[in-house]
Amino acid sequence: MSYTLTGKHLIAGNWVAGDNTFQSEPAHGPANTFPVGTPALVDQAAKAAEDAFWTFGYSTREERAKFVNAIADEIDARGDEITEIGTQETGLPEARLQGERGRTVGQLRLFASHILDGAYLDRRYDEALPDRAPLPRPDLRLMQRPIGPVAVFGASNFPLAFSVAGGDTASALAAGCPVVVKGHSAHPGTGEIVAQAIDAAIKRCGVHPGVFSLIQGGKREVGQSLVQHPLIKAVGFTGSLGGGRALFDLCAARPEPIPFFGELGSVNPMFLLPAATKARGKALGAGWAGSLTMGAGQFCTNPGIAVVIDGPDADAFVASAKEALSGVAAQTMLTDGMAETYRAGAKRIAGTSGVKDVLTTTCDLRNATPYLFETTGENWLSNHELGEEVFGPLGLVVRVKDVAEMRAIAKSLEGQLTCTLHLDAADAADARSLLPILEHKAGRVLANGFPTGVEVSDAMVHGGPYPASTNFGATSVGTMAIRRFLRPVCYQNIPVDVLPADIA
């Protein structure tokens, strides 16, 4: 074992034990003991974050970029440790953990370069017009400023990229906001190693230690106390619809309501247009199977629904998908609970009126195997539960009569992270009729591809109308994610030698 754990929380630079503990439940390898979080620890961390904000929030962009890059360096320096404990805790293969670590440090470095550019500040200047009639205009300057301490909830399905130092933490720190992370109990050891990296970067850069805290484990009261703490000014969350909605409601019910940026769930439907299905239905079926089962289907962009016009071309698509799925072996899911929820979801779909089994399998313990079902467009429209996410490698084919019914299916959708069009040149008119509906329903619309795999870049949107996310104007991936933790401030007639350097 190459990694070394303290088995403690990190609260403002101090590794803190607790009276109560829990054990990790790894897919393989040793179980480790960690302390259980408490509301008292939340209070300590939030107060330290507030204290850190008065220096960190007003540090230079160069200082923050140096710190964020230092975190990336320290995570890379612990790469082998992270891979070792990450594979043990999650059951994910080494290549997946290594790739996710690359994405994590890439996000950090992207935000460092993003703030150095300065465009994110959205600076605006209205020059004073003292002689304007009938009233003079004052000197007005606008700039984005950090909002204060941010709470981040680690995600179960991304132990690195959406957890302790993931996109929420990276964008908040780049904005100038200290972060309090509630680690996910599915991978507490991985979370601690990453926290060790952040702690090392804090010491290396001389940053106020209150800029980051990690609280391990804890029951529901810990999450509740975190989002309700009066010093927390925003929350980043990736997780279940039920848990996220409960926290969202708590944020809204506070004496001072705060934004809750929750990414909650999506079935990510694909619409296969006629010419594309005829020309390459078999290839699309095989491609869908690969996307559907990637990482045991444990991606928030997993394309769980395929809408296709009924007929021989649809038959070829379904047969190809079934054949490809039949060859997929059992995969280890991230937790026992997620495996059980997946099996319950498959049972729910199978038991819904009007749903036909195409491929049924048997899985137990922490394993997942693919399921494939089909139904009609008419049945979909009359059964709302068919549009509810099943987190795992399960696909549902919706056979529709024509493109008009396909549009009806699109209009019936709840908010999605992604919607996909598979089209050839002859499908352009039908695609144009669908696109306005799909862009109204999803944060990302793609053509002739599969939505698993989210590029970290300036133009990416990872969010969408509820219930895909709780704030349709935000993204949790890409450089625009920083805007969640900023607010505009207008400076009127402030002397230049008093103004912040970035707006003077």
Of residues 300, 374, 405, 419, which has the active-site annotation? 300
* Residue 281: other Cβ atoms inside 10 A: 23
Rounded Cα distance between 106 and 457, Å, is 10
Q: Does residue 251 have an active-site annotation?
A: no
Contact 358, 373 (CB under 8 A): yes
Q: What are phi and psi of 451, to 5 degrees?
A: -75, -15
Nearest by Cα to 143 from 119, 178, 127: 119
Taking each helix axis from N to C end, the angle separating 167-175 and 61-77, rounded to the nearest 10 degrees, works out to 150
* Catalytic residue chosen out of the listed positions 74, 263, 389, 405: 263
Strands 416-422 and 270-272: parallel
The region that residue 448 occupies, defined by phi over 0 for left and psi between -120 and 50 for alpha, beta otherwise, is: left
Express the helix, strand and coil content of the chain in percent, nearest 5 each: 45, 20, 35
**Cα separation of 74 and 6, whole Å?**
17
For residue 248, what are its two tokens?
Answer: 């969202």
Question: How would you write 256-319 as a 3-class SS string?
Answer: CCCCEEEECCCCCCEEECHHHHHHHHHHHHHHHHHHHHHHHHCCCCCCCEEEEECCHHHHHHHH
Q: Is 127 a catalytic residue?
A: no
Which residues does the annotation mark as catalytic?
A: 263, 300
